[in-house]
Amino acid sequence: MSRKSSTALRAAPHATPEERAALGKEARRRAPRSGHAVYEPSPDRPDPLKILEAQSATRVPELVPLRYGRMTESPFRFYRGAAAIMASDLAATPRSGFTAQLCGDAHLLNFRLLASPERRLMFDINDFDETLPGPWEWDVKRLSASFVIAARANGFDDAERDRIVRHTVRSYREAMIGFAAMRTIDVWYAKIDEDRLESLAADRLHEGGRKSLARALGKARGRDSLQAFDKLTETVGGRPVIAADPPLLVPVGDLLPDVERHALERRFRSLVKRYGSTLASDRRTLLSDYRLADVARKVVGVGSVGTRCWIFLLLGRDDRDPLFLQAKEADTSVLAAHVGASAYRNQGERVVSGQRLMQATSDIFLGWERVDGIDGRKRDFYVRQLRDWKGIALPETMSPRRMRAFGELCGVTLARAHARSGDRIAIAAYLGGGDSFDRALATFAEAYADQNERDHRALVDSVAAGRLPAERPPTA
């Protein structure tokens, strides 16, 4: 497969496992696994800052400096906001020819603890803003490079970083081989819940690591709508409202004059009602038991800063029965320019469909809608709970051993997500039982981490020269 080919390889309908495996092995001739080690910036590589500026042109203008401010803080923070830059770079790298539903932004902080509808903690991918079908290698490469960048920030040496990436990719490869041997429906039932997490920790971590996991599980259970209610609201005139914390959290009443505010509030009420049609019927009934009490604009993440994101405070049986929903703007995926447009006309539906396809289980309030903005533009949104037992990793606190274990966990999780939509048998056969692909990605990840540092420095220099505006909020 040539470096720039976009042709996807597919087995004939209902091909045998042997035929699918043969297709995977044949792909090694066109795209040798060792070839994935190579990263060389193209002579006509687009200016990474122009890519960022093109994204910023469609965002809330007063929030763009916050985005640049966050991205200047460190190479890892830059990387989190640079999915579009890396997508452009990955488009020129070798491909096996097999596709899967991609996360599109599979860096290590987008793997975290989440709640299942059955109120069990799960470990899964969290962010799907960029999801699209594409070359499965791209997610693995973005994940691998993120570990090198995080490990450099921790001062880990070359050998430690190499082991972390190799273990991450080996975990992906071996998990994919395991999924290739499973019944199709069993792949869809596969998951990593808290029992599996504790079992993995017992095998891979010392007592300190196991205690750290137990604390993380406990903390995640406390991050729900009640905790958000206590943290994000205040009582005004005898009723709960969202408390202002500008510029990170701004109630709609502080953004617009009364007439425009009332018009926008009507649109939000309509959004909540209409988005319910994208939920299962039982969940629409649940949603109907809540009423919208307040709305605020929220700044989220690093790469997402400047996109339109609103949080809704809904109340159920009384004023102490809160539900927080987050409506986040969904724009065209950064992958689309390189793999083709989404099959979905609504970008919110693209995000939701990709999330449902890749996650073992998804938020019961996950849905989408299109809204007319006060500026007359139609915008797509996806909606989910703001907080539902979420727990995020803290790579800066990890030892090499813990980061290696976390990488293994991310690897198997990503393999499960890809195995649902990609040809797991062909991909497993392509990867094989040896460590050729593991070693190649360890080399690629180091080279791309170098590129990321150069791009980060270019942003820092541009901000220092006054070309781009940057502002750092009190908290991030």
What are the backbone dihedrals phi and psi of residue 368, each rounded to the nearest 5 degrees, phi first? -150, 165
* pLDDT, tens only, 459-468: 999 999 999 9
What are the backbone dihedrals phi and psi of residue 382, each rounded to the nearest 5 degrees, phi first? -115, 150
Higher pLDDT, 178 or 205: 178
Establish if 421 belongs to a structural domain.
Answer: yes
Most distant CA atoms of the chain, gap in Å: 71
Establish if 88 belongs to a structural domain.
Answer: yes
| Mean pLDDT of the 415-421 span | 98
Establish if 230 belongs to a structural domain.
Answer: yes
Arithmetic mean of pLDDT over the chain = 92
* Block residue for tokens 């409202």: 241
Which of 99-103, 185-189, 246-250, 404-408 is predicted least confidently?
246-250
Establish if 440 belongs to a structural domain.
Answer: yes
Provide the residue count of the chain.
476
The proportion of the chain whose per-residue pLDDT surpasses 70, expressed as a percent, equals 97
Q: Are both 66 and 177 inside the same structural domain?
A: yes
Q: Are both 374 and 448 inside the same structural domain?
A: no
Helix intervals (H) in 57-133 = 64-72, 75-80, 83-90
Tell me the C-alpha to C-alpha distance, in Å, between residue 368 and each of 172, 271, 465: 31, 9, 41
Q: Is the pLDDT of residue 476 over 60?
A: no
Q: Is the pLDDT of residue 324 over 90?
A: yes
pTM above 0.75? yes
pLDDT at 5: 41
Establish if 473 belongs to a structural domain.
Answer: no
* pLDDT, tens only, 314-323: 999 999 999 9
Q: Are both 69 and 212 inside the same structural domain?
A: yes
Q: Are both 35 and 64 inside the same structural domain?
A: yes
Q: Are both 44 and 81 inside the same structural domain?
A: yes
Q: Are both 109 and 212 inside the same structural domain?
A: yes
pLDDT at 9: 77
Fill in the amino acid letter for 57. Answer: A
| Mean pLDDT of the 96-100 span | 97
Tokens representing residue 112 in the block:
């975290």
pLDDT band at 474 (very low <50, low <70, confident <90, very high): low
Q: Are both 53 and 115 inside the same structural domain?
A: yes
Q: Are both 212 and 299 inside the same structural domain?
A: no
Nearby residues of 466 by Cβ (< 8 Å), 6 or more positions away: none
Q: What is the DSSP string of 317-374?
A: SSTT-EEEEEEEE----TTHHHH---S-SSHHHHHHHHHHHHSSS--TT-EEEEEE-T
Tokens representing residue 21 in the block:
């495996």
Contact present, 442 and 407 (Cβ < 8 Å)? no
Q: What is the DSSP letter of 110?
A: G
How far is residue 327's CA from residue 381's CA, in Å, rounded to a whole number?
6
Establish if 115 belongs to a structural domain.
Answer: yes
Establish if 476 belongs to a structural domain.
Answer: no
How far is residue 432's CA from residue 112's CA, in Å, rounded to a whole number?
28
* pLDDT, tens only, 115-128: 888 888 999 999 99
Tokens representing residue 103 in the block:
């996360």
Q: Are both 268 and 191 inside the same structural domain?
A: no
Q: Are both 199 and 285 inside the same structural domain?
A: no
Last residue within a domain, chosen from 353, 385, 417: 385
Establish if 106 belongs to a structural domain.
Answer: yes
Find the domain containing 271 and state its range.
225-385
* pLDDT, tens only, 11-55: 777 899 999 999 999 999 999 999 999 999 989 999 999 999 999
Contact present, 407 and 415 (Cβ < 8 Å)? no
Q: Are both 454 and 319 inside the same structural domain?
A: no
pLDDT at 207: 75
Helices (H) and strands (E) in the chain, counts: 19, 13
* pLDDT, tens only, 354-390: 999 999 999 999 999 998 876 778 999 999 998 877 8
Q: Is the pLDDT of residue 247 over 80?
A: yes
| Mean pLDDT of the 142-150 span | 98
Q: Is the pLDDT of residue 6 over 50?
A: no
Domain count, the chain: 2
Contact present, 55 and 67 (Cβ < 8 Å)? no
Last residue within a domain, chosen from 385, 410, 433: 385
Q: Is the pLDDT of residue 209 over 70?
A: yes
pLDDT band at 430 (very low <50, low <70, confident <90, very high): very high
pLDDT band at 101 (very low <50, low <70, confident <90, very high): very high
Q: Is the pLDDT of residue 304 over 90?
A: no
How far is residue 443's CA from residue 207's CA, in Å, rounded to a whole number?
32
pLDDT at 2: 37
Angle subtended at Cα 10 by Cα 7 and Cα 11, rounded to the nearest 5 degrees: 150
pLDDT band at 1 (very low <50, low <70, confident <90, very high): very low
Q: Are both 426 and 372 inside the same structural domain?
A: no
pLDDT at 214: 82
| Mean pLDDT of the 104-113 span | 96
Last residue within a domain, chosen from 360, 385, 410: 385
